[in-house]
Structure 1
Amino acid sequence: MVAIQVANAKRAFITRNVDLSLAERFGNQAPEAGDLVLARVERIRQHTRLEDPSGRRVWIYRGDRLVLAAGSRYATAQYRAELPSALGACHLVAAGGIAACVSDRNSQVKPATELFLEGVLADAEGVPLNLKRFQRLPPASIGNHGLPLVMVVGSDMDAGKTTMACAAIRGLSNAGYRVQGAKLTGTGAGPDYWRMYDAGAIDVADFVDAGFASTVGATPAQVIDILSRIGRRAMQKQADVMVVEVADGLLQPETEALMSTQEFVGLFGGVLVAGDSAAAATYVAQRVAMAGLPVFAISGVLTRSPVASREVAAATALPVHTPEQLQSVEVIQSVLASLFRGCDVALGAVD
C-alpha cells in the first residue's frame, strides 16, 4: 500500500538522491530534519508548483500526494518556518520540497500552501528514510585540497548572488577552466543548481548531496565539512577552481557565524560580493574585509543602476561589474588574477 502511494505521488527535487523503492512502511512519529514524508495537499496558496528531481516544475492540485523532506527555512523574502513537531497540518515552504510549519511570513508573499503530513517514509525495518542515508559526496578531511576557492556572498536574499556566481562560472569556463559549482548553504532547490550547470560548470554539488534539506541551524563545523566534501568531489572531477555560493544575506545567523569562523574564512582566496543597493554592497564589502578576506569585485542587483555602481566604486575603491561583464574572459582574468597566484593553475594558461 505504501509503495503504491509513493509511486503515485509527485516527488520533490530535494529527494533526488533517495532510493524510494526502500519505502515500505509509514512511521507515525514526529519527523526529524531530513526525513522523507508523504504529504497531502489541502489548499493551494503561495506555491502552485513543485520542482521534480529532473528540474521540471510540476503543477500541484488539492488532493495530490507529495514526497517531501521535513526541514526548516529561513528566507527574508518568503518564510521563516520550523521543523514540524508532529504529523498533521503543515506547509509547503519551498518549491524544492520542504515541509515545515510557518512562523513568520514576508507580507509581499501569500500564505504558504497548506499540507497534511500523512506519515514518515520508512524501510521494511521501520527505519525512516532520511537524506543523510543517501549522501553522494565523498568523505573528506578539512581543507580545500589546494583547489582555488572563490566565495559569492550577498547583502540579502535576491541580491543577485546566483546571477553573479553563474556569471563568474561562465567567465571562467569561457577562459577554458573546469569549474566546480557549489551551493553551500540555503534551502534545497533546483533553479540555482541547474543554472550553474547551464553556465558551464563541469559539476554542481550542494548541501542536499551531504544529507541536509536546508542548512538552517547548521553549525560552522557542519558547513565546513560540507565544503570540504564538495572540494574532494571537485578534485575527483579534475576541476581547476570552485565557485561557492553562500545563501541569503550576510546577517543571516548561519552566514554571520561562518564569516566569524577563521577555519572557514581561511579556505577561500577571496570573495565576490552581490548587493541589492549601493549602501548594502558597501557594508558587505567592509564586513568581508574585516573578516580578513579580499573582495575581488562587486556586482548584483545594484549594477542595474550606473549611478549606484559609481557610488559603490567611489566608496570602496573596488571594481564594480555587471554580470554580463563578469562573463568576459578579460574581466574575469582581471578580477580573479590574485586567486590563482601561487597555484598550479594560472589564469590565461588553459587552452
Structure 2
Amino acid sequence: MKSRIKKSYICSDVNDYQINLNLIKSHIPTVGDIAIFEVLNIGKHSTIQGESTRNEKIMVGDHIMAAFGHRYATAQFEGYVPDKIQTEFHILGAGGVIGEVKSTNDKFKDGGPTRLRIIGYVTDSENKIINTKTIHSSQMLTFTGSAATQTKVVLSIGSSMDSGKTTTAAYVVHSLIKQGKTVAFIKITGTAYTKDADLAYDLGASISIDFSKLGFPSTYMCSENELLNLYETLLEKTLLCEPDYVIMEIADGIYQRETRLLLQNEAFVNSVSEVIFSANDSMAAVCGVQTLRSWGIQPFALCGMFTTSPLLIEEVEALVETPIYSLKGWDKEGATELITYSGINKSRRVESSQLFLEVA
C-alpha cells in the first residue's frame, strides 16, 4: 500500500482507520461504505474534491479514499452501487462518490467515467466497515416541521440540472444580506460536492450546508422519510444563526424522483414560505408552472437561464402571469434590486425588499 492516500471530501471525517484487504472478496457494498481504490484510467473525472474542499489532480496509479453511492445527473452520469461483489468501479462524482455507471450523457461518451479498482475496505478498530452515513446517524432528527416555523423557507427549484436554480438561490441570498437580513442556505438533495453551498456562502450566507454534512454521498434513491429527516436536520442546524430566511435548493428538475417526492409531500410543501422556479427555456418555464400548479404549488417568481434572452422572456410572459426576474443589476455595487419583466411595464424596477415583503 502506498503511503499517500488522497482522501475525498465525503470521507473528510474519517481519521482513525485500518484497511481490510480481504473484505473485498465477501462484502457487497452499500451506500456510504468507504474503501480505498486505485485509479486505473482517467475519464471524465481527472480530479477529486479533497477533504479541504480543494480539487486534487488524480493520476493513474493513485490511491484514493471514497464512498459508495448512487448518482442521478442528466448532464453527466446515471450510476448505482452494484448489488454484487466486483473489483472495478467508476467515479460517479468528484466529491468521492463511487459506483457503476449505467448511462452517460453523450458529451462524455468518448472519454467515459474514470475507472477504479478496489484495494480494500476502510474499517474501524472492531474491523467493521466505516460508513459515512453511520458516522452521522446520531445527528439525524425525525421530521416534524417545527424547524420551519422558526424562519421563512424560500425554495429554489428548476426544470432540470443546470437550469439556473443555484445561481438564483445564491443571488437571492446576496440581495437579502444587503438589506441587513440574516440568511442561511441549504441544499437538500444532489451528489456530494461543495460548489453550490460554497457559492451561497461566498454571497453572504451565514451558514451554508448540504446533505453531505450528514454523510450522504448522494440522495439519489433515498426514501421519502430519509429526505424529510434530512430537511428537518439541516434546517435545524441553520437555526444556530437565527436566520430571517433560509434559501433552500433541491437538485435536478421537478420530475426527478427525490424532487417529485418532496414537492408532492403536503407536509413538506406546507413548511415552505415561497417557491422560486428556474427554467432553461420558454417551454420549460411555461410547462413547469403548469406542472407545479397541478401539484398545488404557485411559484412567486420565474428565474433561470431563459432570462438571459429577451425573446424567451417575451414568449413566457405571453403565456403566464408569474413575474419573471433576471439577475441583471444584482452584481452592481450597492445594488438591492431585481429587474422584472412583468406584464405591461418591462422597465419597472422592484426592490428586493419589496419583493420579499410581498412573499413573506
Please, what TM-score do these two structures have when normalized by structure 2?
0.88
Equivalent residue for 1:237, pick from 219, 237, 241: 241
- The 8 Å contact of residues 74 and 105 in structure 2, kept in 1 or not, is answered as yes
The aligned amino acid for 1:112 is: P
SS of 1:284 mapped into structure 2: helix
Within 5 Å, give how 1:258-297 maps onto structure 2.
Answer: 258-297=262-301
Q: Structure 2 stretches of 5 or more lacking a match?
A: 339-351
Structure 1 residue 254: Cα displacement? 1.6
Structure 1 residue 11: Cα displacement? 1.3
Structure 1 residue 338: Cα displacement? 3.6
Structure 1 residue 337: Cα displacement? 2.3
Q: Provide, for residues 279-332 of structure 1, a one-character-per-residue CA deviation record: whole Å limited to 9, x for no partner.
A: 101111222223223312111111110111122222211221222456653332
Within 5 Å, give how 1:20-59 maps onto structure 2.
Answer: 20-23=15-18, 25-26=20-21, 27-28=23-24, 29-59=27-57
Q: Provide, for residues 129-163 of structure 1, a one-character-per-residue CA deviation record: whole Å limited to 9, x for no partner.
A: 11123329563552113310011111111111111
Worse-matched range after superposition: 58-67 or 286-295: 286-295
The aligned amino acid for 1:252 is: Q
1:123 lines up with 2:124 in the alignment: yes
Structure 1 residue 266: Cα displacement? 1.1
Equivalent residue for 2:202, pick from 198, 204, 216: 198
1:171 lines up with 2:166 in the alignment: no
Structure 1 pair 326–250 and aligned structure 2 pair: CA distance change class (3 A): farther
Give the fraction of aligned pairs with identical amino acids, expressed as a percent.
27
1:63 lines up with 2:61 in the alignment: yes
- In structure 1, the partner of 2:141 is 139
Equivalent residue for 1:9, pick from 5, 8, 14: 5
- The 8 Å contact of residues 296 and 336 in structure 1, kept in 2 or not, is answered as no
- In structure 2, the partner of 1:347 is none
The aligned amino acid for 2:336 is: V
- The 8 Å contact of residues 143 and 228 in structure 2, kept in 1 or not, is answered as no
Query: Hey, what's the Cα distance between the residues in 1 that align with 2:93 and 2:120?
Result: 19
Structure 1 residue 235: Cα displacement? 1.3
- The 8 Å contact of residues 303 and 325 in structure 2, kept in 1 or not, is answered as yes
- The 8 Å contact of residues 23 and 129 in structure 1, kept in 2 or not, is answered as no
Structure 1 residue 220: Cα displacement? 2.1
Structure 1 residue 198: Cα displacement? 0.5
Query: Hey, what's the Cα distance between the residues in 2 that align with 1:207 and 1:61?
Result: 28
- In structure 2, the partner of 1:337 is 357
- The 8 Å contact of residues 38 and 117 in structure 2, kept in 1 or not, is answered as yes
Query: Hey, what's the Cα distance between the residues in 2 that align with 1:175 and 1:23?
Result: 50
- In structure 2, the partner of 1:219 is 223
- The 8 Å contact of residues 24 and 124 in structure 1, kept in 2 or not, is answered as no
The aligned amino acid for 1:52 is: G
Structure 1 pair 301–137 and aligned structure 2 pair: CA distance change class (3 A): farther
Query: Hey, what's the Cα distance between the residues in 2 that align with 1:293 and 1:329?
Result: 27
- In structure 2, the partner of 1:323 is 327
Structure 1 residue 37: Cα displacement? 1.4
Query: Hey, what's the Cα distance between the residues in 2 that align with 1:138 and 1:176?
Result: 31
The aligned amino acid for 1:83 is: V
SS of 1:67 mapped into structure 2: strand
The aligned amino acid for 2:337 is: E
Structure 1 residue 226: Cα displacement? 0.8
Structure 1 residue 212: Cα displacement? 1.3
- The 8 Å contact of residues 78 and 101 in structure 2, kept in 1 or not, is answered as yes
Query: Hey, what's the Cα distance between the residues in 1 that align with 2:4 and 2:251?
Result: 33
SS of 1:193 mapped into structure 2: helix
Structure 1 residue 126: Cα displacement? 1.4
Q: Structure 1 stretches of 5 or more lacking a match?
A: 341-351
- The 8 Å contact of residues 140 and 229 in structure 2, kept in 1 or not, is answered as no
Query: Hey, what's the Cα distance between the residues in 2 that align with 1:270 and 1:294?
Result: 8
Query: Hey, what's the Cα distance between the residues in 2 that align with 1:339 and 1:120?
Result: 50
- The 8 Å contact of residues 143 and 231 in structure 2, kept in 1 or not, is answered as no
Structure 1 pair 54–166 and aligned structure 2 pair: CA distance change class (3 A): same
SS of 2:98 mapped into structure 1: strand
- In structure 1, the partner of 2:112 is 111
RMSD: 1.9
The aligned amino acid for 1:99 is: I
- In structure 2, the partner of 1:348 is none
Within 5 Å, give how 1:243-262 maps onto structure 2.
Answer: 243-262=247-266
SS of 2:43 mapped into structure 1: coil
Query: Hey, what's the Cα distance between the residues in 2 that align with 1:137 and 1:161?
Result: 28
Equivalenced residues, count: 335
Query: Hey, what's the Cα distance between the residues in 2 that align with 1:292 and 1:271?
Result: 12
